[in-house]
């Protein structure tokens, strides 16, 4: 019985250490580790999340964007919040993620959120503090925990 308690405690300690490391990595923006986390998510987490992303009740939405160099269409799972008429996306990896660069360069994208596909445009990097009104308290706490200070604001755009 003690063996199971030790194993359970060890697993819990490892999980807490990994979580603390992730928080520290995102807070400091330490690029080598942050890039590894992004690559891991792109290869393993994103394909699973994409199975339900954008559907009603899903925790993730989809942003459809065009590659800056390739011109290819991409779909990336993101966390989208509707605040008034705007769509806000928290940027845990900062502005260096390819999808962020693509949307800013193109000036337009599509958001699939709660079962609806919405053309969006006028992308703007905004301070998380500047748009905190209307953002759920849980999201504000998460942003503070991870030290996330920027969001991408998108507006519905019929010509996107």
Mean pLDDT, residues 72-99 taken together: 91
**Global confidence as pTM:** 0.81
- 122-150 residue pLDDT tens: 999 998 877 767 778 888 888 887 788 89
Rg over alpha carbons for the chain, rounded to the nearest Å, is 17
CA dihedral for 51, 52, 54, 60, sign (positive or negative) = negative
With residue 31 as reference, give the H or E element that holds it: helix 31-40
- In the predicted model, what is the mean pLDDT of the chain? 87
With a cut of 70, say whether residue 52 has pLDDT above it: yes
């Amino acid at each position: 019985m003690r063996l199971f308690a030790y194993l359970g405690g060890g697993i819990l300690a490892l999980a807490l250490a990994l979580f603390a490391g992730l928080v520290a990595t995102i807070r400091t923006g330490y690029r080598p580790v942050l890039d590894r986390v992004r690559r891991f998510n792109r290869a393993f987490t994103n394909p699973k999340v994409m199975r339900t992303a954008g559907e009603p009740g899903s925790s993730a939405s989809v942003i459809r964007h065009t590659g800056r160099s390739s011109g290819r269409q991409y779909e990336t799972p993101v966390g989208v919040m509707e605040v008034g008429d705007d769509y806000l996306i928290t940027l845990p990896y900062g502005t260096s993620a390819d999808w962020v660069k693509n949307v800013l360069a193109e000036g337009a994208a599509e958001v699939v959120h709660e079962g609806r596909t919405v053309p969006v445009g006028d992308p703007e990097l905004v301070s998380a503090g500047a748009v905190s009104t209307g953002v759920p308290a849980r999201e504000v706490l998460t942003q503070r925990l991870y030290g996330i200070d920027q969001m991408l604001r998108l507006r519905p755009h019929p010509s996107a």
